[in-house]
Structure 1
Amino acid sequence: MFRMTDAFSILRPLILASGSPRRRAFLEGMGIPFEVLPADGPEPRPIPGEDPREYTGRCAEAKARHVLASLAHRSDCPAVLSADTTVIVRDERGSDILGKPRDRDDAVAMLSRLAGRTHQVVTACCLAMDGHVERFDDVTDVTFAPWPLAMLEAYADSGDPLDKAGAYGIQDGGAFLVQTIRGSWSTVVGLPLDIVLERLLHAGVIAVKERS
């Protein structure tokens, strides 16, 4: 895996409020030191009529606030970065948020609904520090090829979709499902890396090392 070292200095401890190995890999690849402390509180439920982007941001903020509160005893002023990813599908059945599937059959149902259509992937992040929270997000359009049911069932049987929003991972075995994307690949994976780096720099969590 690509890794960039000695690009950034860490100015205060960074806590990643996520157990996602994909999000960890992004930060590790940029050579940014961080600790992992997943949020263990219950995830908010959507409010009827709530905008999907607003809901995703609310989930990310809840995670960041929960973890930041648990670090109140620390004197080193850590910053907490959280993220939440949802898949939004709009079709004749309406507009729905697809989270992680309950089981194999639910994964097949999700994949069948996405096949041959364009959906949106929203990854919202929250940076919390010093009692202040900042939310930001990114949206990418993803179009699936019109795969037959047998292909979708074979993918669901692999187990890969079960821990992923929308029942697929573009970075893993689910890459074959995707025909085109319009936007950020890292957003679909689970962390809009360019935006995250910009916010960490702006907030004074990291700094670019000067070259001699």
Structure 2
Amino acid sequence: MNGSTFWKRGQPLLLASGSATRRQMLEAAGIPLVVVRAPVDEGAIAATLLETRRTPAEIAIALAHAKAEAAARKHPEELLLAADQTLDHQGRLLMKPADLDHARAQLLSLRGTAHFLHSAAVLRRGDSVLWAGIASASLQMRNFSAAFLDAYLDSMGPLVTTTVGGYQLEALGIHLFDSIEGDHSTILGLPLIPVLHALRDLDCLAA
């Protein structure tokens, strides 16, 4: 029996996320996918929410809802999953760094301290939100040297701007940390186990 045998729907799940890591996690779990675009201005949404004193965790779920809504307008009949992740450093929201200098500044601010990653997801069909959830992980960054940071940024190159915080934990970013508490999929950007539970409750997966 291969993993796809567990999927009970005739149609694949639409994934409203451009993250290759999220796609790979779901495909590894045997979920047939079609990736669709969910054009939202994450920075503008986050900025507006920060003005109303929303927390980084609240912003993560709001961004996932915004992506789900945008995708549902184009695919109103389909079951879709949207997700987003925020980094919470002592209550301060960090987004994807704009360039290498920004990444350096973020990593220096995180060095030697703990932060949280909040990963949110939403299942939606048309105007109906079928499920929404969020999970968090705590990460303690080590007090690395300036020379190490130079070598890390040189090795990562432009990839350092593609994730919140400027690191990929599944790659060279693992060298930045002393300790990690939380589910691995949550750290990679998707609360996978809660999503699978929700899909079973919706009779999309074998129980």
Q: Residue type of the partner of 2:205?
A: A
1:9-158 paired onto structure 2 within 5 Å: 9-43=8-42, 44-46=45-47, 47=49, 48=51, 49-72=53-76, 77-90=77-90, 95-133=91-129, 134-157=131-154, 158=156
TM-score by length of 1: 0.87
3-12 vs 26-35, greater mean Cα deviation: 3-12
Q: Residue type of the partner of 1:150?
A: A
**8 A Cα contact 1:64 1:128, kept in partner:** yes
Q: Distance in 2 between matches of 1:97 and 1:185?
A: 21
**8 A Cα contact 2:60 2:120, kept in partner:** yes
**8 A Cα contact 1:10 1:33, kept in partner:** no
What SS does the aligned partner of 1:15 have?
A: strand
Tell me the CA shift for residue 59 of structure 1. Answer: 0.5
**Structure with the higher helix share, 1 or 2:** 2
Tell me the CA shift for residue 148 of structure 1. Answer: 1.0
| Aligned equivalent of 1:7 | 6
**8 A Cα contact 1:186 1:192, kept in partner:** yes
TM-score by length of 2: 0.89
What SS does the aligned partner of 1:67 have?
A: helix
- Number of equivalenced pairs: 198
Structure 1 pair 4–179 and aligned structure 2 pair: CA distance change class (3 A): farther
Q: Which of 191, 205, 208 does residue 206 from structure 2 map onto?
A: 208
- Cα deviations by residue, 1:41-88 (Å, 9 ceiling, x for unpaired): 32212322112111111111000000011113xxxx311101111111
Q: Distance in 2 between matches of 1:198 and 1:120?
A: 23
Tell me the CA shift for residue 130 of structure 1. Answer: 4.3
Q: Distance in 1 between matches of 2:174 and 2:8?
A: 34
Q: Distance in 1 between matches of 2:65 and 2:38?
A: 11
Percent sequence identity over aligned pairs: 31
Q: Residue type of the partner of 1:192?
A: P
Q: Distance in 2 between matches of 1:54 and 1:101?
A: 20
**8 A Cα contact 1:7 1:30, kept in partner:** no
